[in-house]
Amino acid sequence: MVVNYFTGLADEVRELLAELGVEKLTDLIGRTDLLEAVEGMTAKQSKLDLSSILETPVSPLSHPLYWTEPNQPFDKAELNQKIIEETEAAVASRAGGSFYFDVRNTDRSVGARLSGSVAKRYGNQGMATSPIKLYLDGTAGQSLGVWNAGGVEIYLTGDANDYVGKGMAGGKLVIKPHVGTTFACNDATIVGNTCLYGATGGKLFAAGTAGERFGVRNSGTIAVIEGAGDNACEYMTGGIVAILGATGVNFGAGMTGGFAYVMDSNDDFEGRVNTESVEAISLSDLYIHQEHLRGLIAEHLEETGSVHAENILANFDEWIPKFYLVKPKAADLRTLLGHQSRSAAELRVQAQ
């Protein structure tokens, strides 16, 4: 059906080109003689003078009216290429190893070519037991760790732009500030907007806050961050997100799977939840989920050295009343962790 549609569209385009006396679409570029101005629908539009726009462009034969040179990737000789060259032997031998690079905000999709190389040879999890570990220092451009494969672990000291972990399928992404920074990590943005868009696996730990739409369409990644903007966990279908700080509005809109732990640091979280899709339940009496959250925060501390995470763990019982579990309305609370979840009260009765 689709093939027939496009065949018919191509035939129609060819017919229109023939009527205009040209062979291909590029022959129409610069043919302003084929255009004519229509009368304006308002008095203001009628006063417009379009003659300069409709003037036929004049160009020397050596300068075509459109770009004709191949468009090489911007970073062909930059960071992604260096990563491929330096890790080639470790990937080929399946030995894994650690590699160190500086990164800047013009380095985009860092790690994507490496993930492609790993996945092409061994599939998604083929190097998970002997990973390639990239240690980056600086500010990463857009899409750090995009389509990250199992067996690729990226540790960034600095910060990153939008789309961190977009479509990641495995491995690990860790982002933390430089040692000695004077600001509180949980009050500073460390990753941009729309992180983990469409992610299906792996883990992300970021010692700082994220921009808007964190975890949108996440369907399998486990993540810990320290705050997020509007529309976090939007259309989420799986995975687990722990947010150790405030969020923006419209949390969990369209969420149909997975769940989140969220700290209500400003005592206003219930008013920020999209109640059409999800419900927020206090963690105060959910013992098993408390311990699960404790484990996630401990792993976050180990990976990032977050002072905020260390604070929470040191005073865990005092922080727990601040946390909510957010799940899709249709999801059964008792089976979110794959087994029968019991409250602290039920466990105390059992112990007696």
Q: Are residues 29 and 158 in the same domain?
A: no
pLDDT tens track for 137-163 = 999 999 999 999 999 999 999 999 999
pLDDT tens track for 90-107 = 999 999 999 999 999 999
**Of 100, 176, 99, 109, which Cα lies nearest the Cα of 140?**
109
DSSP labels for 44-109? Answer: HHHT---TTTSSPP---TTS-SS--S----TTTTSHHHHHHHHHHHHHHTT--EEEEEEE-TT--S
Contact 186, 210 (CB under 8 A): no
Q: Are residues 196 and 296 in the same domain?
A: yes
Residue 347: predicted pLDDT: 38
Confidence of residue 1 (pLDDT cuts 50, 70, 90): low
What is the residue range of 95's domain? Answer: 79-351
Q: Are residues 98 and 236 in the same domain?
A: yes
Top-confidence range, 67-81, 300-314, 328-342? 300-314
Q: Are residues 138 and 40 in the same domain?
A: no
**Residue 128 domain-assigned?**
yes
**Residue 58 domain-assigned?**
no
Q: Are residues 23 and 112 in the same domain?
A: no
**Residue 347 domain-assigned?**
yes
**Residue 97 domain-assigned?**
yes
Q: Are residues 140 and 26 in the same domain?
A: no
Q: Are residues 153 and 41 in the same domain?
A: no
**Residue 51 domain-assigned?**
no
**Residue 73 domain-assigned?**
no
Long-range Cβ contact pairs of 78-87 (< 8 A, separation 24 or more): 78/106, 78/107, 79/103, 79/107, 79/110, 80/107, 80/109, 80/110, 80/111, 80/112, 80/113, 80/114, 81/113, 83/110, 83/111, 83/113, 83/114, 83/134, 84/113, 84/114, 84/117, 87/114, 87/117, 87/132
Q: Are residues 12 and 104 in the same domain?
A: no
Overall domain count for the chain = 2
C-alpha to C-alpha distance for 193 and 174, rounded to whole angstroms: 16
Q: Are residues 24 and 164 in the same domain?
A: no
Q: Are residues 140 and 181 in the same domain?
A: yes
Q: Are residues 129 and 266 in the same domain?
A: yes
CATH code assigned at 187: 2.160.20.60
**Residue 199 domain-assigned?**
yes
Q: Are residues 139 and 232 in the same domain?
A: yes
**Residue 57 domain-assigned?**
no
* pTM as predicted: 0.79
- Does the pLDDT at position 348 exceed 60? no
- Of 48-52, 188-192, 337-341, the one with minimum mean pLDDT is 337-341
Could you tell me what percent of the chain has a pLDDT over 90? 72
pLDDT tens track for 274-314 = 999 999 999 999 999 999 999 999 999 999 999 999 999 99
Q: What is the DSSP pairing of strand 278-282 with strand 257-263?
A: unpaired
- Does the pLDDT at position 221 exceed 80? yes
